[in-house]
Structure 1
Amino acid sequence: MTDNGKYLVVTAEEVAYVREQLGTSEEDIKTSVTSLREWLRMQPHLPDAVDDSVIERMYINCKCSTEKVKLGLDAYFSLKHKFSELLTNRDVEGSDFQFAMEHFKLMIMPRLTKDAYRVHVWTAVDEDATNIIWPLYGKMMTGALEVMLAEDYSLGDVIILDLANVNAGHIVRADINLFRNLELCYKTAYRRRLKGLHLVNASKIINSAMKIVKLALSEKLQKRVFAHLPGSTTLFDYVQPDCVPDELGGTAGPVDNFSYKLLDMVNREWLLEKDKYMSDESKRPPGEPLWRHLRNRRLV
């Protein structure tokens, strides 16, 4: 998976805390994982191509609901057909990825917050909007989510988006449908939960940015969006400084210590192998397609 050990730091105490918050135990998890593994083996259209650790983490991400895990596993394999531009051909060593990494810095911070949330930071966007190719960043994000599904143990995510260099050119070139599709993959295929989206350095472009956010996110998630003006410290009412890079006022260390570090450690072949596993829709049992079922359950 990763070439040089794990980048994401999760202590035994944090694992215990997450389980306590969700009201689950080691015995409950083992029983549920065994049951879900048997269910997966009985699905003719789904490959039995995930480790028990992945099932366990999806179980945690689904707040210990086995029915939601079943939908999540189905989505994990099935949505690659619908969103191949986000969920396949994720070559971290490809020239397109290398180009994208030079013009926008994305990072997942290694330490959990005190509430056991994982912090994501997007910063240092190139002021020349023509250098920002949004679908590539979407692929990078799902690649990181792939690693998190295998290694992370948390109660949700906090995203910090630095708007310092964002201008009208970025807004005009933003693809709302891409952002919507990315959100859908995030919450259905990887079963992550967004606890807060923080827009920092948000003075000049805040109104336009908020419009994009409202179009891209569900009404529920819109209520978890917060704006912070340049020079303010209000971000730290939500996230402690040791989970935020120095450049954004935190104390975790410089951005370059974290930017793409998780993807840098990924075994290229491991991630490309993940791209191959998808559902065989010709073998799906009769009934409603996954996409319609998810929508009817208000999960998409």
Structure 2
Amino acid sequence: MTDTGKYFAITAEEVAYVRKQLGTNEEDIKTAVTSLREWLRLQPHLPDAVDDSLIERMYINCKCSMERVKLGLDAYFSLKNRIPEFLMSRDARGTDIQFAMEHIKMMTMPRLTKDAYRVHVITAVDEDSMNIIWAPYGKILSIAMEVMFVEDYSIGDMCIIDMANVNAGHVVRADISIIRNLELCYKTAYCRRLKGLHFVNASKIMDSAMKIVKMALSEKLQKRVFVHLPGSTSLFDHVQRDCLPDELGGTAGPVDKLAYQLITGANREWLLEKDKYTSDESRRPAENRYADNIYGIAGSFKKLSVD
């Protein structure tokens, strides 16, 4: 499905570790995947165009909760209608993504942390905030999540954001609705869990930035936000150096080599094919209440929860 194929190079030992942490095994997973595929087949408003690998990863992401996976599968298809700017027309060669890649470097690190978390890094932010158009970065994130459904095997994520070039202009132009929609996709359509959000090379601008960020975060997640001042080595108390690029004090390689490697290696036709598979809300059964759980009452946004 992807041209990278071995980007993450997950080992049998890492798979076994993740399963042990969640109290599951091969037999349990096979039973769950079979049951969930049958459930999906019976939903008149949802296509069943997903691979077993996606269902298995979603089962792992949901800590083996069948009900949460059903919500996730519903959201995976239905949110494409709600948030197409992130979840549709995902072409890494498109002009929107190509422009975005020139002004921020984003990367998903190939090595897992010792406790099986996947590390994502955002760095080299263009100092001219007018060059930052946020929606394409949501699309980039969703491409990474799609590839991870096929190749990755991890418990959750750690996100590292380099604030070195961030200024007041970036804060003013931050769009809270985009932040919220990103979280909605991340939590509900991809069922991922955020272990920690780390801001490095932080300055006084963080005071203003965090007020915006925290508007979209649950109280629990706010406790998992960490700020690391310039010159500090405290980040390494949370993330080992081989999971970080050289420029942030790591040993995984240079930013220019790692940035966007995952999404540019993704199979273009495979991603665009996914546009065909969305929910048909006109066929959603009246007794199906997943839409309320996804969007909240009257479509209100629910804050990101952290397990």
Structure 1 and Structure 2 fold alike (TM over 0.5): yes
| Structure 2: gaps spanning 5 or more residues | none
Partner Cα separation in structure 2 for residue 80 and residue 26 of structure 1: 31
Shift of 1:232: 0.4
- Report if aligned partners of 1:100, 1:132 keep a CA contact under 8 Å in 2: yes
Alpha-carbon displacement from aligned partner over 1:13-32 (angstroms, at most 9, x marks no partner): 00000000000000000011
3-state SS in 1 of match to 2:64: coil
Alpha-carbon displacement from aligned partner over 1:239-273 (angstroms, at most 9, x marks no partner): 00000111011111111121000011011111111
Amino acid aligned to 2:270 = W
Considering only aligned residues, what root-mean-square deviation do their CA atoms show, in Å?
Answer: 1.3
- Report if aligned partners of 2:216, 2:303 keep a CA contact under 8 Å in 1: no
Partner Cα separation in structure 2 for residue 107 and residue 65 of structure 1: 29
3-state SS in 2 of match to 1:221: helix
Alpha-carbon displacement from aligned partner over 1:188-210 (angstroms, at most 9, x marks no partner): 00000000000000023110121
Alpha-carbon displacement from aligned partner over 1:184-240 (angstroms, at most 9, x marks no partner): 110000000000000000023110121122012222211110000000000010000
Shift of 1:288: 5.5
- Report if aligned partners of 2:198, 2:228 keep a CA contact under 8 Å in 1: yes
- Report if aligned partners of 1:213, 1:222 keep a CA contact under 8 Å in 2: no
Partner of 2:147: 147
Amino acid aligned to 2:233 = T
Which runs of structure 2 are paired with 1:1-300 in the superposition (5 Å)? 1-287=1-287, 289-294=289-294, 295=296
Amino acid aligned to 1:244 = L
Amino acid aligned to 1:162 = D
TM-score (norm 2): 0.94
Partner Cα separation in structure 2 for residue 182 and residue 218 of structure 1: 14
Partner Cα separation in structure 2 for residue 48 and residue 5 of structure 1: 23
- Report if aligned partners of 1:117, 1:158 keep a CA contact under 8 Å in 2: yes
Partner Cα separation in structure 1 for residue 79 and residue 97 of structure 2: 22
| 203-212 vs 9-18, greater mean Cα deviation | 203-212
Amino acid aligned to 2:95 = S
Aligned residue pairs total 299
Partner Cα separation in structure 2 for residue 6 and residue 275 of structure 1: 25
- Report if aligned partners of 2:46, 2:77 keep a CA contact under 8 Å in 1: yes
- Report if aligned partners of 2:217, 2:303 keep a CA contact under 8 Å in 1: no
- Report if aligned partners of 2:176, 2:212 keep a CA contact under 8 Å in 1: yes
Q: CA, structure 1 residues 289+64, in 2 after alignment: closer, same or farther (shift >3 Å)?
A: closer
| Structure 1: gaps spanning 5 or more residues | none
Amino acid aligned to 1:161 = I
Partner Cα separation in structure 1 for residue 246 and residue 303 of structure 2: 37
Amino acid aligned to 1:135 = A
- Report if aligned partners of 1:188, 1:299 keep a CA contact under 8 Å in 2: no
| 199-208 vs 212-221, greater mean Cα deviation | 212-221
Partner Cα separation in structure 2 for residue 141 and residue 49 of structure 1: 21
| 88-97 vs 188-197, greater mean Cα deviation | 88-97
| 179-188 vs 267-276, greater mean Cα deviation | 267-276
| 111-120 vs 220-229, greater mean Cα deviation | 220-229
Shift of 1:100: 1.0
Partner Cα separation in structure 1 for residue 274 and residue 115 of structure 2: 30
Shift of 1:7: 1.0
Partner Cα separation in structure 1 for residue 231 and residue 167 of structure 2: 19
